[in-house]
């Protein structure tokens, strides 16, 4: 009986001591680079868009330009826009599509800067993309035991929306000149239902038949060395100074004794 | 150097594969031959000549089923010889253009509306699935009179 009592007390103590154990908290070190390193707007050109033909079925060409800026520490709102063309000429179909697209989104830099001159970033980002385009099947052929039949479909205008999640990096190679790559995962949100034939290609997104597309890009950037914040601060200071002067004048005018009758 | 070689090989392979396209599918009717008396699947020596086409589609082949290519029009007729007895079967169908993909193209899909046939060796024809699409499956059963039943 004594042994049983002893065992019970021991177990109770063990439970109490376990309960009193402090929860193991993960302490995340705070970022020490909460300052803006890249002043001004950075504009870029995608070097891979004109060469998409090398790894895409059919003939795909395009151009893309971007603009981003460090509006808040480590946060870069981004705007990207471009043109995309697709041609497909097989034994059975002659197809072409062209259109423009734009993306807006934000990048978050996860690479902590070593000093204020360290402008390299490794980032995670997201985008919302939309496109306006047209497609045309110039001719198609249906092979048959009897005799091949040919036909065509006229011009079709359409639009599409998609979301993108991306990872990438940008490094300053020489003063104000950056280069960087991105890996993108694109998820098609919606596209216009055209009937026959359906949308095959969405500029900026890729094949519309795929709900998910992956993409890679490599770009060159130039950071316009214009610190807009400084000029805003200067303007604010000038306005404040003017206001102060006006108040001072009013005050000095107000101290004059009024003639009372 | 190793990475560069790998990159060059990758580009060559990607470029070589990029213009390989699948051919569009074709929709064909599949018929199963059934003994009209025993109601069991049976085999016959068959010869099929599409009417309006010069070549034979089947030439004295022993089989328990056959497939037929339809024309893009509204009807397609075939002269079918079962063990040297000839029957003419005409299929009336609705033809629609279908999209497979922009890379492989378009094809026809058919909906069987009516079947007319001479009844020499053929006893009757039953439509099991009127939709003839790119997936080959049984569309009709052709009931054949056995030798003892004679001809109509």
Q: Which residues of A touch B102 (CB under 8 A)?
A: 88, 93, 95, 137, 197, 200-201
Q: Could you tell me if A150 and B78 are in contact, meaning their C-beta atoms sit under 8 angstroms apart?
A: no
Give B2's contacts (C-beta < 8 A, 6+ positions apart): none
Q: Could you tell me if A79 and A251 are in contact, meaning their C-beta atoms sit under 8 angstroms apart?
A: no
Query: What pLDDT is recorded for position B23?
Result: 86
Query: What pLDDT is recorded for position B2?
Result: 66
Query: What pLDDT is recorded for position A222?
Result: 96
Q: Which of A66, A106, A76 is nearest to A204 (CA)?
A: A66
Mind telling me how many Å the CA of B35 is from chain A's nearest CA?
A: 29
Q: Do A140 and B14 count as a contact with CB atoms less than 8 A apart?
A: no
Q: What is the CATH number of the domain that holds A194?
A: 2.40.160.20
Q: Could you tell me if B144 and B122 are in contact, meaning their C-beta atoms sit under 8 angstroms apart?
A: yes
* Residue B101 contacts A where some CB pair is shorter than 8 Å: yes
A interface test, pick of B102, B104, B106, B132 with most A CB neighbours within 10 Å:
B102
* C-alpha Rg value of chain A to the nearest Å: 31
Task: Give me the domains of chain B, ranges plus CATH numbers.
Answer: 27-149 (2.60.40)
pTM (two decimals): 0.75
Q: Do A92 and B105 count as a contact with CB atoms less than 8 A apart?
A: yes
Those of residues 41-80 in A touching chain B at CB distance below 8 A are 54-58
E-strand spans in chain B? 28-35, 44-50, 58-63, 65-69, 75-82, 85-101, 105-117, 122-127, 131-132, 138-144
> Tokens 């070097």 sit at which residue?
A47
In a domain, A260, yes or no: no
Query: What pLDDT is recorded for position A114?
Result: 82
Q: Which of A58, A183, A62 is nearest to A123 (CA)?
A: A183
Q: Could you tell me if A118 and A138 are in contact, meaning their C-beta atoms sit under 8 angstroms apart?
A: no
Q: Do B53 and A90 count as a contact with CB atoms less than 8 A apart?
A: no
Number of domains in chain A: 1
> In angstroms, rounded to a whole number, what is the distance separating the alpha carbons of residues A59 and A84?
11
* Residue B72 contacts A where some CB pair is shorter than 8 Å: yes
Predicted confidence (pLDDT) per residue in A4-43, tens digit: 455 555 555 555 555 555 556 667 777 788 888 888 899 9
Give B44's contacts (C-beta < 8 A, 6+ positions apart): B33, B62, B63, B64, B82, B83, B144
DSSP conformational letter for B20: -
Q: Could you tell me if A52 and B14 are in contact, meaning their C-beta atoms sit under 8 angstroms apart?
A: no
- Residue A258 confidence (pLDDT) above 60: no
In a domain, A2, yes or no: no
Mean pLDDT taken over chain B: 86
Candidate from A55, A92, A197 with C-beta closest to B18: A55
Instruction: Tally Cβ neighbours within 10 Å of residue A127.
Output: 22
Candidate from B14, B52, B107 with C-beta closest to A54: B14
Mind telling me how many Å the CA of B12 is from chain A's nearest CA?
A: 9
Mind telling me how many Å the CA of B64 is from chain A's nearest CA?
A: 22
- Residue A260 confidence (pLDDT) above 50: no
Kind plus residue range of the DSSP H or E element containing A241 = helix A228-254
Chain A residue with the nearest C-alpha to that of B68:
A145
In a domain, A217, yes or no: yes
* Residue B97 contacts A where some CB pair is shorter than 8 Å: yes
CB burial of residue A151 (10 Å; 0-12, 13-18, 19+): exposed
Mind telling me how many Å the CA of A58 is from chain B's nearest CA?
A: 7
> In angstroms, rounded to a whole number, what is the distance separating the alpha carbons of residues A33 and A22?
31
Predicted confidence (pLDDT) per residue in B68-84, tens digit: 999 998 999 999 998 88
> In angstroms, rounded to a whole number, what is the distance separating the alpha carbons of residues B65 and B26?
18
In a domain, A163, yes or no: yes
Query: What pLDDT is recorded for position A21?
Result: 56
Chain A residue with the nearest C-alpha to that of B106:
A142
Give A53's contacts (C-beta < 8 A, 6+ positions apart): A59, A60, A61
* Residue A195 contacts B where some CB pair is shorter than 8 Å: no
> In angstroms, rounded to a whole number, what is the distance separating the alpha carbons of residues A146 and A93?
19
Q: Could you tell me if B121 and B100 are in contact, meaning their C-beta atoms sit under 8 angstroms apart?
A: no
Mean pLDDT taken over chain A: 85
Q: Do A90 and B14 count as a contact with CB atoms less than 8 A apart?
A: no
Tokens of B27: 């929709």
What is the band of A122 on the pLDDT scale with cuts at 50, 70, 90? very high
A211-225, A239-253, B36-50, B112-126: segment of lowest average pLDDT: A239-253
B4 φ/ψ angles, rounded to the nearest 5 degrees: -65, -45
Q: Do A146 and B69 count as a contact with CB atoms less than 8 A apart?
A: yes
A interface test, pick of B106, B108, B134 with most A CB neighbours within 10 Å:
B106
Predicted confidence (pLDDT) per residue in B41-59, tens digit: 989 899 999 998 888 888 9
In a domain, A105, yes or no: yes
Q: Could you tell me if A102 and A78 are in contact, meaning their C-beta atoms sit under 8 angstroms apart?
A: no
In a domain, A67, yes or no: yes
A253 φ/ψ angles, rounded to the nearest 5 degrees: -70, -35
Candidate from A54, A90, A145 with C-beta closest to B103: A90
What is the band of A185 on the pLDDT scale with cuts at 50, 70, 90? very high
Tell me what ipTM this predicted complex has.
0.77
What is the band of A118 on the pLDDT scale with cuts at 50, 70, 90? confident
- Residue A146 confidence (pLDDT) above 70: yes
Candidate from A88, A91, A141 with C-beta closest to B102: A88
E-strand spans in chain A? 41-46, 59-69, 75-89, 93-109, 121-142, 149-174, 177-191, 201-202, 206-207, 212-223
Strands B138-144 and B28-35: parallel
Query: What pLDDT is recorded for position A196?
Result: 86
The domain containing residue A190 runs over which residues?
31-89+97-130+157-235
Query: What pLDDT is recorded for position B118?
Result: 94
Chain B residue with the nearest C-alpha to that of A199:
B102
């Amino acid at each position: 009986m004594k042994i049983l009592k002893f065992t019970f007390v021991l177990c109770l103590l063990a439970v109490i001591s376990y309960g009193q154990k402090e929860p193991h908290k993960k302490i995340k070190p705070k970022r020490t680079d909460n300052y803006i390193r890249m002043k001004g707007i950075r504009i870029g050109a995608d070097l891979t868009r004109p060469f998409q033909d090398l790894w895409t079925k059919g003939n795909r060409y395009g151009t893309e330009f971007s603009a981003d800026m460090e509006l808040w520490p480590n946060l870069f709102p981004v705007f990207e826009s471009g043109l995309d063309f697709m041609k497909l000429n097989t034994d059975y179909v002659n197809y072409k599509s062209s259109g423009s697209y734009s993306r807006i989104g934000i990048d978050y830099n996860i690479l902590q800067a070593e000093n204020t001159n360290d402008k390299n970033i490794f980032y995670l980002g997201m985008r919302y993309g939309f496109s306006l385009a047209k497609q045309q099947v110039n001719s198609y052929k249906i092979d048959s035991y009897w005799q091949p039949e040919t036909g065509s479909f006229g011009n079709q205008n359409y639009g599409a929306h998609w979301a993108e999640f991306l990872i990438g990096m940008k490094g300053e190679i020489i003063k104000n000149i950056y280069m960087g790559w991105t890996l993108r995962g694109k998820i098609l949100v919606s596209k216009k239902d055209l009937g026959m034939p359906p949308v095959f290609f969405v500029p900026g997104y890729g094949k519309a038949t795929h709900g998910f597309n992956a993409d890679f890009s490599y770009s060159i950037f130039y950071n316009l060395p214009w610190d807009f914040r400084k000029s805003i601060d200067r303007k604010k200071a000038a306005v404040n100074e003017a206001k102060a002067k006006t108040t001072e004048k009013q005050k000095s005018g107000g101290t004059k004794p009024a003639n009372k009758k | 150097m190793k990475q560069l070689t790998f990159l060059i090989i990758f580009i060559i392979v990607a470029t070589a594969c990029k213009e390989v396209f699948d051919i569009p599918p074709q929709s064909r009717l599949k018929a199963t031959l059934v003994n009209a008396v025993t109601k069991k699947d049976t085999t016959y020596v068959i010869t099929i000549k599409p009417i309006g086409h010069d070549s034979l589609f089947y030439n004295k082949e022993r089989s328990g089923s056959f497939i037929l290519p339809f024309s893009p029009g509204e009807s397609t007729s075939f002269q079918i010889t079962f063990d040297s007895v000839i029957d003419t079967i005409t299929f009336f169908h609705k033809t629609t253009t279908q999209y497979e993909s922009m890379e492989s193209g378009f094809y026809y899909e058919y909906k069987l509306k009516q079947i007319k046939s001479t009844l020499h060796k053929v006893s009757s024809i039953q439509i099991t699935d009127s939709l003839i699409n790119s997936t080959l499956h049984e569309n009709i059963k052709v009931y054949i009179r056995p030798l003892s039943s004679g001809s109509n």
